[in-house]
């Protein structure tokens, strides 16, 4: 179906051509009318003055009269300076509502209809620590934009690159060897990723202790940090890993298995899934081959110490290390290999990396290096750069053990949902199993919405208690709007009523709601274009807020006029379906009872 904005654009174009002859479509600037003014759509008249040769007010009046004369969908107009506010007929909005109500997935494009294949990499955890709050924002952004782009008609492949090699992994392994005494997730009762993370923290404590000792005996701080014995041991372990030392490989495989089992549990709790998982331990080898090939072609350069670099100073960056002097790889090495592998394997049109803004430089360099190496598709790489997430208590640091583990946060959210639901009394009368599921749904909805409502580019402060409030701009507020509508619709079965249109003429508030529902496809398109789930999140809040105001101002089930009641029932049923569809894009469930 055509949206109201598309229809009014076409209508205006026809009238303007009739008045002024052929014109550039860019001159037709329309937008939803602001709440404080009467009307549904506003035409900005100023760009048309060179055609009308008249004042803004006279031009707007002339266009308004032509609309009334030619088009039955326009009921009236008003002029505010250089703006023409257009009101469409109630019958037009009734027909739009009817079409939407008959389209359960209204706003969603046909699967893969764009012909464009987009790969999205997100999560990308290290196997030396559990997922934490920062990872949660990454995962929710990646999963949300994946659903949004798929709903916009693109083929989407969701991938995860597990950083399972490197010095940071060896730090956990070495600390476990030195201090672990054979401890396992089974013997300790600690989740595998959490256990390995504990040894990453233990390494850092020992490292700092050694640095302090070396400084005490006359070494500079910089030299002490470089020559601490435990760091040298970790570097040697990395070299042994790259040389496939059997003992190191077995330890690495064992500890990684613990972490993967822990990750899978957290992903399942978050409702996150991937189409394919890559491992850095496999992709870095291709990266080394690409680097060596670039070196042989003279694109890259080798320093006297054996390290391999690329000079990006001509592009206002600096020299970028691609292989260390001992031949070991860096992050850029494996990213080169991974990118080449993915574009070759999937023939993708675009690759989106969901990675924090501290890696902005890295992705600038990645694209430039790939272009220098001759890969024309490098321009199709997009870095979805997002800001950091902090708690009221401040920044988090993994090596110091001050991060908030994802599982601990999820537990806290569920406990808070339980407490606040008990206080509100909204779940009285339900069995314990149903209530537990609703607590989980509320907790996840609160977490996901609070994080996704913020523009990805911005840093954010996450407050668990604020996020789960049933009032205000929160997930539970939106979920409750849906549950409230479902409660009304359940009662319909006991009355001589049904959600259907009749001869009832919708009032201004109801038309505002229909117009808001009808704008959902535009919101979806904007979210896909701007790679921003926040657009959908804020649209959801606006729709839920408008419904709640309507619910408090107007009778629905108790309305004595049958035609009015049935039309209002269809309206709120369509609102509920739109809330459900929009929430699904964000990975948020909306329960029927709360």
Do 149 and 288 lie in one domain? The reply is: yes
The separation between CA 55 and the C-alpha centre of its own chain, rounded to angstroms, equals: 46
- Cα–Cα nearest to 231, from 208, 215, 258, 254: 208
* DSSP state at residue 110: P
DSSP state of 554: S
pLDDT for 445 equals 97
pLDDT (0 to 100) of residue 169:
95
Give the pLDDT of the chain (594 residues) as one tens digit per residue.
888 999 999 999 999 999 999 999 999 999 999 989 999 999 999 999 999 999 999 999 999 999 999 878 999 999 999 999 999 999 999 999 999 999 999 999 999 999 999 999 999 999 999 999 889 999 999 999 999 999 999 999 999 999 998 899 999 999 999 999 999 999 999 999 999 999 999 999 999 999 999 999 999 999 999 999 999 999 999 999 989 999 999 999 999 999 999 999 999 999 999 999 999 888 888 999 999 999 999 999 999 999 999 999 999 999 999 999 988 888 899 899 999 999 999 999 999 999 999 999 999 999 999 999 999 999 999 999 999 988 776 554 444 445 688 999 999 899 988 887 777 666 677 788 888 899 999 999 999 999 999 999 999 998 888 898 888 999 999 999 999 999 999 998 777 788 999 889 999 999 999 999 999 999 999 999 999 999 999 999 999 999 999 999 999 999 999 999 999 999 999 999 999 999 999 999 999 988
Q: Which domain, by its residues, includes 29?
A: 4-88
Comparing CA positions, the residue from 507, 436, 432, 441 lying closest to residue 478 is 441
Buried/exposed 69-96: b ≥16 CB within 10 Å, e otherwise? eebebbbebbbbebbbbbbbbbebbbeb
**What secondary structure does DSSP assign to 397-435, as a single string?**
-TTTT-S-BHHHHHHHHHHHHHHHHHHHTTTTT--HHHH
pLDDT value of position 394: 53
Which pLDDT score, from 0 to 100, does residue 217 have? 92
The CATH code of the domain that includes 411 is 1.10.730.10
Q: Note the maximum CA span of the chain.
A: 93
534 & 480 share domain: yes
Predicted local confidence at residue 497, as pLDDT: 83
Last residue of a domain, one of 330, 365, 390: 390
**What single-letter DSSP state applies at residue 256?**
H
78 and 163 both lie in a single domain: no
Count CB neighbours of 306 within 10 A: 11
Task: Please tell me whether residues 217 and 313 are part of one structural domain.
Answer: yes
- In this structure, the chain runs to a length of 594
- 3-state DSSP assignment of residue 124: coil
Q: Is residue 98 part of a domain?
A: no
* pLDDT of the residue at 402: 53
| pLDDT score at 470 | 86
- Displacement of CA 515 from its chain's centroid (Å): 25
384 plus 439 within the same structural domain: no
Tell me how far apart the terminal alpha carbons of the chain are, to the nearest angstrom.
34
With beta carbons less than 8 A apart as the criterion, state whether 125 and 131 touch: yes
CA dihedral (472, 473, 477, 478) positive or negative: positive
Same domain for 153 and 206, yes or no, is yes
Q: Is residue 514 part of a domain?
A: yes
Asked if 281 and 339 sit in the same domain, the reply is yes
Pick from 467, 478, 460, 479: which is nearest to 592 by CA? 479
Phi, psi at 391, each rounded to 5°: -100, 165
Give me the pLDDT at residue 174, please: 98
pLDDT at 403: 67
Instruction: Show the tokens assigned to 517.
Output: 């529902």
Bridge pairing between strands 83-88 and 117-121:
unpaired
Tell me, yes or no, whether 329 and 413 share the same domain.
Answer: no
| Per-residue confidence (pLDDT) for residue 405, from 0 to 100 | 87
Q: Which residues sit opposite 120 in a β-bridge?
A: 158, 352
User: What CA–CA distance (Å, rounded) separates 585 from 534?
Assistant: 11
Shared-domain flag, residues 317 and 176: yes
Question: Domain with 269 in it: what CATH number?
Answer: 3.40.50.620
CB 182 within 8 A of CB 373: no
* Nearest-angstrom CA–CA distance, 448 and 453: 8
Q: How far is CA 450 from the centre of its chain?
A: 11
Task: Answer yes or no: do 333 and 437 share one domain.
Answer: no
- Tokens 């109630």 sit at which residue? 90
Residues sharing a CB contact under 8 Å with residue 162, sequence separation 6 or more, in sequence order: 124, 125, 127, 260, 277, 278, 279, 280
CA distance 259 to 129: 8
The domain tally of the chain equals 3
Instruction: Please indicate, yes or no, whether residues 446 and 549 belong to a single structural domain of this protein.
Output: yes
């Amino acid at each position: 179906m055509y949206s109201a904005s598309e229809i009014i654009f076409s209508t205006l174009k026809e009238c303007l051509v009739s008045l002024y002859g052929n014109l550039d479509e860019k001159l037709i600037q329309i937008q939803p009318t602001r709440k404080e003014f009467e009307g549904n759509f506003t035409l900005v008249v100023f760009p048309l003055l060179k055609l009308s040769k008249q004042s803004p007010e006279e031009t707007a009046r002339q266009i308004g009269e032509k609309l009334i004369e030619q088009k039955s969908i326009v009921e009236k107009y008003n002029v505010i300076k250089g703006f023409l506010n257009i009101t469409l007929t109630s019958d037009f909005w009734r027909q739009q509502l009817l079409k939407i109500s008959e389209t359960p997935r209204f706003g969603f494009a046909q699967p893969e209809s764009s012909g464009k294949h987009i790969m999205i990499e997100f999560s990308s955890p290290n196997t030396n620590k559990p997922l934490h709050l920062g990872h949660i924002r990454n995962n929710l952004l990646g999963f949300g934009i994946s659903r949004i782009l798929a709903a916009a008609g693109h083929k989407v492949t969701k991938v995860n690159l597990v950083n399972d090699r490197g010095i940071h992994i060896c730090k956990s392994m070495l600390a476990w060897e030195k201090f672990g005494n054979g401890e396992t997730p089974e013997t300790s009762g600690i989740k595998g990723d959490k256990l390995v993370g504990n040894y990453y923290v233990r390494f850092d404590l020992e490292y700092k202790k050694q640095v302090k000792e070396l400084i005490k005996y006359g070494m500079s701080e910089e030299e002490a940090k470089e020559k601490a014995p435990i760091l040298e041991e970790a570097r040697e372990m990395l070299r042994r890993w790259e040389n496939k030392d059997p003992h190191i490989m077995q330890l690495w495989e064992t500890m990684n298995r613990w972490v993967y089992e822990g990750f899978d549990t957290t992903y399942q709790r978050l409702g996150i899934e991937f189409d394919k998982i890559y491992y850095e331990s496999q992709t870095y080898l291709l990266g080394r081959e690409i680097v060596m090939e670039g070196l042989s072609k003279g694109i890259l350069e080798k320093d006297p110490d054996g390290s391999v670099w690329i000079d990006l100073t001509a592009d206002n960056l600096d020299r970028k290390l691609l292989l260390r002097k001992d031949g070991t790889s860096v992050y850029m090495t494996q990213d080169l290999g991974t990118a080449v592998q993915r574009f070759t394997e999937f023939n993708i049109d675009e690759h989106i990396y969901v990675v924090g803004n501290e890696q902005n430089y890295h992705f600038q360099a990645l694209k430039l290096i790939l272009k220098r190496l001759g890969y024309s598709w490098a321009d199709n790489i997009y870095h979805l750069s997002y800001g950091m997430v902090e708690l009221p208590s401040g920044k988090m640091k993994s090596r110091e053990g001050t991060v908030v583990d994802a599982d601990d946060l999820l537990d806290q959210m569920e406990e808070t949902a339980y407490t606040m639901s008990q206080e509100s009394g909204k779940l009285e009368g339900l069995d314990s199993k149903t209530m537990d599921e609703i607590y989980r749904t509320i907790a996840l909805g609160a977490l996901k919405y609070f994080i996704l409502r913020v523009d990805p580019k911005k840093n954010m402060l996450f407050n668990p208690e604020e996020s789960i409030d049933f009032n205000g701009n929160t997930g539970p507020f939106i979920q409750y709007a849906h549950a409230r509508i479902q409660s009304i619709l359940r009662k319909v079965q006991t009355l001589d009523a049904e959600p259907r249109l009749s001869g009832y003429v919708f009032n201004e508030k109801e038309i505002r709601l229909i117009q808001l529902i009808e704008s959902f496809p535009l919101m979806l398109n904007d979210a896909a274009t701007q790679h921003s789930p926040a657009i959908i999140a804020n649209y959801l809040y606006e729709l839920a807020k408008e419904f709640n105001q309507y619910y408090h101002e107007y009778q629905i089930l108790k309305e004595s006029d049958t035609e009015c009641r049935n039309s209002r029932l269809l309206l709120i049923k369509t609102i509920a379906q739109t809330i459900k569809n929009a929430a699904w894009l964000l990975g948020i469930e909306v329960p029927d009872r709360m």
